[in-house]
Amino acid sequence: MKTFKNATLTALFAPATLVSTSLLAQPTMDMNGLKGSGMAMEMDAKGAAMTNGEVKKIDKETQKITLKHGPIQNMEMPGMTMVFKVMDASLLDTVKVGDRVKFNVEKRQGAMVVTAIEIAK
Protein backbone atom coordinates (compact mmCIF):
# COMPACT_ATOMS: atom_id res chain seq x y z
CA MET A 1 0.00 0.00 0.00
CA LYS A 2 1.39 3.39 -0.99
CA THR A 3 1.15 6.44 1.21
CA PHE A 4 1.18 10.05 0.10
CA LYS A 5 3.66 12.47 1.52
CA ASN A 6 2.48 15.82 2.86
CA ALA A 7 4.07 17.66 -0.07
CA THR A 8 2.05 15.61 -2.55
CA LEU A 9 -1.24 16.30 -0.75
CA THR A 10 -0.42 19.99 -0.49
CA ALA A 11 0.29 20.16 -4.23
CA LEU A 12 -3.00 18.43 -5.02
CA PHE A 13 -5.19 20.72 -2.91
CA ALA A 14 -3.31 24.05 -3.02
CA PRO A 15 -4.56 25.23 -6.44
CA ALA A 16 -8.22 25.00 -5.38
CA THR A 17 -7.47 26.89 -2.19
CA LEU A 18 -5.60 29.62 -4.06
CA VAL A 19 -8.40 30.08 -6.58
CA SER A 20 -11.16 30.36 -4.00
CA THR A 21 -9.12 32.72 -1.82
CA SER A 22 -8.23 34.98 -4.74
CA LEU A 23 -11.87 35.20 -5.84
CA LEU A 24 -12.90 36.40 -2.39
CA ALA A 25 -10.35 39.19 -2.52
CA GLN A 26 -11.63 40.68 -5.80
CA PRO A 27 -13.18 44.15 -5.65
CA THR A 28 -16.91 44.35 -6.27
CA MET A 29 -18.97 46.75 -8.34
CA ASP A 30 -21.34 49.10 -6.57
CA MET A 31 -24.61 50.53 -7.93
CA ASN A 32 -22.71 53.34 -9.69
CA GLY A 33 -20.31 50.94 -11.43
CA LEU A 34 -17.39 52.04 -9.26
CA LYS A 35 -14.99 49.55 -7.77
CA GLY A 36 -15.15 49.25 -4.02
CA SER A 37 -15.05 46.77 -1.18
CA GLY A 38 -18.81 46.30 -1.26
CA MET A 39 -18.88 46.73 2.51
CA ALA A 40 -19.77 50.42 2.85
CA MET A 41 -23.30 50.92 4.15
CA GLU A 42 -25.31 53.83 5.43
CA MET A 43 -27.51 53.44 8.47
CA ASP A 44 -30.96 54.88 9.06
CA ALA A 45 -32.02 56.66 12.26
CA LYS A 46 -32.67 53.29 13.97
CA GLY A 47 -29.21 51.98 13.04
CA ALA A 48 -30.50 49.60 10.35
CA ALA A 49 -28.41 49.18 7.19
CA MET A 50 -29.81 50.97 4.16
CA THR A 51 -29.54 49.47 0.68
CA ASN A 52 -28.76 51.41 -2.51
CA GLY A 53 -31.28 51.12 -5.31
CA GLU A 54 -32.96 52.71 -8.30
CA VAL A 55 -36.72 53.08 -8.69
CA LYS A 56 -37.89 51.24 -11.81
CA LYS A 57 -41.69 51.27 -11.32
CA ILE A 58 -44.25 52.56 -8.82
CA ASP A 59 -47.73 51.06 -8.48
CA LYS A 60 -49.71 53.14 -5.98
CA GLU A 61 -52.88 51.10 -6.49
CA THR A 62 -51.25 47.89 -5.21
CA GLN A 63 -48.81 49.74 -2.91
CA LYS A 64 -45.76 48.17 -4.60
CA ILE A 65 -42.44 49.48 -5.87
CA THR A 66 -39.97 47.86 -8.26
CA LEU A 67 -36.36 48.49 -7.28
CA LYS A 68 -33.06 47.57 -8.91
CA HIS A 69 -30.94 47.16 -5.79
CA GLY A 70 -27.55 46.23 -4.45
CA PRO A 71 -27.06 43.50 -1.84
CA ILE A 72 -29.59 43.63 1.00
CA GLN A 73 -27.42 42.75 4.00
CA ASN A 74 -30.13 42.02 6.57
CA MET A 75 -31.87 39.64 4.12
CA GLU A 76 -28.60 38.06 2.91
CA MET A 77 -29.78 38.78 -0.64
CA PRO A 78 -27.62 39.65 -3.64
CA GLY A 79 -28.36 42.61 -5.86
CA MET A 80 -31.19 42.23 -8.38
CA THR A 81 -34.39 43.89 -9.60
CA MET A 82 -37.57 42.98 -7.74
CA VAL A 83 -40.99 44.15 -6.61
CA PHE A 84 -41.56 45.04 -2.94
CA LYS A 85 -44.66 45.93 -0.96
CA VAL A 86 -44.40 49.18 1.00
CA MET A 87 -45.26 49.47 4.68
CA ASP A 88 -47.01 52.80 4.18
CA ALA A 89 -48.45 53.99 0.85
CA SER A 90 -47.20 57.52 1.57
CA LEU A 91 -43.63 56.25 1.01
CA LEU A 92 -44.45 56.05 -2.70
CA ASP A 93 -45.15 59.80 -2.77
CA THR A 94 -41.54 60.60 -1.82
CA VAL A 95 -39.88 59.05 -4.92
CA LYS A 96 -40.36 58.80 -8.68
CA VAL A 97 -39.21 56.40 -11.40
CA GLY A 98 -35.50 56.88 -12.11
CA ASP A 99 -34.60 58.15 -8.62
CA ARG A 100 -31.53 56.68 -6.95
CA VAL A 101 -32.60 55.78 -3.42
CA LYS A 102 -31.57 54.25 -0.13
CA PHE A 103 -34.12 51.97 1.48
CA ASN A 104 -34.76 49.47 4.25
CA VAL A 105 -36.52 46.13 3.87
CA GLU A 106 -37.92 43.89 6.60
CA LYS A 107 -39.72 40.58 6.45
CA ARG A 108 -43.31 41.02 7.66
CA GLN A 109 -45.97 38.32 7.52
CA GLY A 110 -43.92 36.34 5.01
CA ALA A 111 -43.39 39.27 2.62
CA MET A 112 -40.42 41.56 2.08
CA VAL A 113 -41.66 45.08 2.84
CA VAL A 114 -39.96 48.44 2.28
CA THR A 115 -40.17 50.19 5.65
CA ALA A 116 -38.20 53.34 4.74
CA ILE A 117 -37.04 54.98 1.52
CA GLU A 118 -35.25 58.23 0.74
CA ILE A 119 -33.57 59.81 -2.26
CA ALA A 120 -29.84 59.10 -2.22
CA LYS A 121 -27.55 62.10 -1.78
- In DSSP terms, 58 is beta-bridged to 65
CATH number for domain 41-119, candidates 3.30.70.60, 3.30.1490.20, 3.40.190.10, 2.40.50.320 = 2.40.50.320
The residue-averaged pLDDT of 87-91 equals: 96
Q: How many CB atoms lie within 10 A of CB 16?
A: 9
> What's the chain's average pLDDT?
76
Asked if residue 67 lies in contact with residue 53, where contact means CB atoms within 8 angstroms, the answer is yes
Q: Which residues pair with 64 in a beta bridge?
A: 59, 85
Model confidence pLDDT, tens digit, residues 46-85: 556 899 999 999 999 999 999 999 999 999 999 999 999 9
Calculate the dihedral angle through the C-alpha atoms of 104, 106, 108, 111, rounding to the nearest 10 degrees.
Answer: 80
Q: What is the residue extent of each domain of the chain?
A: 41-119
